[in-house]
């Protein structure tokens, strides 16, 4: 099994809105939409959600758009991203229910037992210490809280990683910088087994780790039902 290699730290500083927006636009239909469907199913009946490593806030904003009773904290380590969330939420007219938060996954700026739903998409591979981040999620989750953590899954070999990055890069017409970043993400990602071990060591209970699509892994609390389908056809008027 190929060893985990964190992305260079400059990559995080350079992980600016442009690349994030480019990537999410490219794979929105294949990755972000299914994630959003599952998140919406889990958000039913809940009052607030926290998106960790939210990037430009597109998931938080869509979730707030489709779930009019939900308040979403959109948290990121990058000030640029937090500013992008502020602007994008205002443009989408959900600025009153999407709160941009500057914060680190390993020191969540939320009280114990306070969050109904924790979400995170494509962020765990950035964390040098995923177990600490998962321990923080356990701390802030309210009783009966839910979580959906999805990230890419580390391939077994560098060759497979390269085939994936270049295969998707070709199909989705990623530019060279996005392909490089995707490849680095694959090298930095956890395996399903590592995610499960980290969750157990963090003291999470009632979770399930499943391979999702074939190059992603989901950690869900509670063990999640099958994703709802056919619910993203029409946006409610707002």
Ligand X SMILES: C[S@@+](CC[C@H](N)C(=O)[O-])C[C@H]1O[C@@H](n2cnc3c(N)ncnc32)[C@H](O)[C@@H]1O
CA distances from 112 to 60, 76, 116, 183 (A): 22, 19, 11, 36
- Judging by beta carbons within 10 Å of its beta carbon (0-12, 13-18, 19+), is residue 199 exposed, middle or buried? buried
CB of 62 to ligand X, least distance (A): 11
Between helix 176-188 and helix 158-171 the angle, nearest 10°, is: 140
Residue among 78 and 220 whose Cβ is closer to ligand X? 78
Per DSSP, helices labelled H in 129-175 are 130-140, 158-171
Rounded Cα–Cα distance for residues 220 and 149 (Å):
6
Distance of closest approach, residue 54 Cβ to ligand X, in angstroms: 5
Of 7 and 194, CB closest to ligand X: 7
Instruction: Name the residues that contact ligand X, by CB under 6 A.
Output: 12, 15, 20, 24, 52-55, 76-78, 81, 104-105, 121-123, 126-127
- Environment class of residue 118 by beta-carbon count within 10 Å: exposed (0-12), middle (13-18) or buried (19+)? buried
The closest residue (CB) to ligand X is: 55
Q: How far apart are the first and last CA of the chain?
A: 49
Q: Own/partner pairs for 221-230, CB < 8 Å, 24+ apart?
A: 221/141, 221/145, 221/146, 221/147, 222/146, 224/38, 224/41, 224/42, 224/148, 225/41, 227/34, 227/37, 227/38, 227/41, 228/37, 228/38, 228/40, 228/41, 229/37
Nearer to ligand X, 159 or 177 (CB): 177
Closer to ligand X by CB, 78 or 131: give it: 78
State the nearest-atom distance from the C-beta of 185 to ligand X, in Å: 7
- Closer CB to ligand X, 2 or 11, in the complex: 11
Shortest distance in whole angstroms from residue 21 CB to ligand X: 8
Q: How far is the CB of 14 from ligand X (least distance, A)?
A: 10
Extract the tokens encoding 141.
């989750």
CB of 20 to ligand X, least distance (A): 5
Of 77 and 164, which CB lies nearer to ligand X in the complex structure?
77
User: Closest CB to ligand X among 124 and 204?
Assistant: 124
Q: How far is the CB of 57 from ligand X (least distance, A)?
A: 8
């Amino acid at each position: 099994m190929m060893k985990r290699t964190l992305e260079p730290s400059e990559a995080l500083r350079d992980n600016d809105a442009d690349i994030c927006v480019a990537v999410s636009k490219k794979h929105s239909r294949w990755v972000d939409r299914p994630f959003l469907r599952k998140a919406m199913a889990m958000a039913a009946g809940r009052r607030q959600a926290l998106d960790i490593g939210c990037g430009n806030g597109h998931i938080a904003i869509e979730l707030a758009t489709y779930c009019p009773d939900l308040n979403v904290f959109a948290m990121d380590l990058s000030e640029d991203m937090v500013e992008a969330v502020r602007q994008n939420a205002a443009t989408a007219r959900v600025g009153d229910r999407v709160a941009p938060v500057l914060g680190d996954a390993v020191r969540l700026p939320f009280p114990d037992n306070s969050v109904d739903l924790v979400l995170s998409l494509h962020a765990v591979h950035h964390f040098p210490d995923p177990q600490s981040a998962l321990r923080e999620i356990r701390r802030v989750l309210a009783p009966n809280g839910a979580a959906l953590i999805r990230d890419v899954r580390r391939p077994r070999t560098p060759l497979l990683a390269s085939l994936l990055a270049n295969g998707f890069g070709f199909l989705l017409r990623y530019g060279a910088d996005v392909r490089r970043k995707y490849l680095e993400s694959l090298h930095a990602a956890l395996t399903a087994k590592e995610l499960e071990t980290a969750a157990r060591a963090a003291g999470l209970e009632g979770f399930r780790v499943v391979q999702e699509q074939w190059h992603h892994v989901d950690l869900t609390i509670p063990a999640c039902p099958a994703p709802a389908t056919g619910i993203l056809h029409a946006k409610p008027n707002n």
